Structure 1
């Protein structure tokens, strides 16, 4: 569960989650949380965070099913590097029960 006070890092990926997919727009994140995650698990969260350009510039922006669905594909084994490149806290923006 994500606390309202913010986090400094994302937890390790589960074996069935080999890729971490940070998305580029809040609207797309809301769609994922509300329309996909809630039916699948009963809850969804939208978070916001800043990342050092020196880290994220190594990855290309991917279009996932439409020009409004832009995301990065970060291999799970590189999540520790991503966490180290987070600037500030991970902010909870929206929660869906």
Structure 2
């Protein structure tokens, strides 16, 4: 089975919800979020995590980059969307497709980078806190 590696920049609250699933699923979108948008490369995910999540209180002033493999055949129904720079490529997955998207993730969701600021705060979830702290430089 062929898979495609994708990335998703998240803040602390979304990461806590991912951890609650055992790192196997992304949480449902909020009412005002019509799409789920994983990105196609780590560089772009890191840019978003650093520039957006680290300045957002709801994100805990932490930018987290996740990576995961999705069955390539499932992804074929979604066109890659370029949203600016040549590396700014995303898939726009309608919110109502997220359960099926999650079912096509292979081998879970991993943390590949974390950006901290002086204002970063981490929840009391010891397992997640330990994972995040392992990225502190």
Fold agreement, TM-score > 0.5: yes
Q: Distance in 2 between matches of 1:79 and 1:93?
A: 22
Q: Does 1:63 align with 2:82?
A: yes
Which secondary structure does the structure 2 equivalent of 1:28 belong to?
Answer: helix
For residue 49 of structure 1, what is the aligned residue in structure 2?
Answer: 68
The farther-off stretch of 87-96 and 77-86 is 87-96
For residue 36 of structure 1, what is the aligned residue in structure 2?
Answer: 52
Q: Distance in 2 between matches of 1:19 and 1:45?
A: 19
For residue 11 of structure 1, what is the aligned residue in structure 2?
Answer: 27
Counterpart mapping for 1:85-96 below 5 A:
85-96=104-115
RMSD value, Cα: 1.3
Q: Does 1:27 align with 2:43?
A: yes
Q: Runs of 4+ in structure 1 displaced over 2 angstroms?
A: none
Structure 1 gap segments, 5+ residues each: none
Q: Distance in 2 between matches of 1:94 and 1:60?
A: 26
Compute the TM-score of the two structures, normalised by the length of structure 1. 0.90
Q: Which has the higher contact order (CA 8 A, sep 6+)?
A: 1
Q: Which has the larger radius of gyration?
A: 2
Q: Count the aligned residue pairs.
A: 95
For residue 101 of structure 2, what is the aligned residue in structure 1?
Answer: 82
Compute the TM-score of the two structures, normalised by the length of structure 2. 0.65
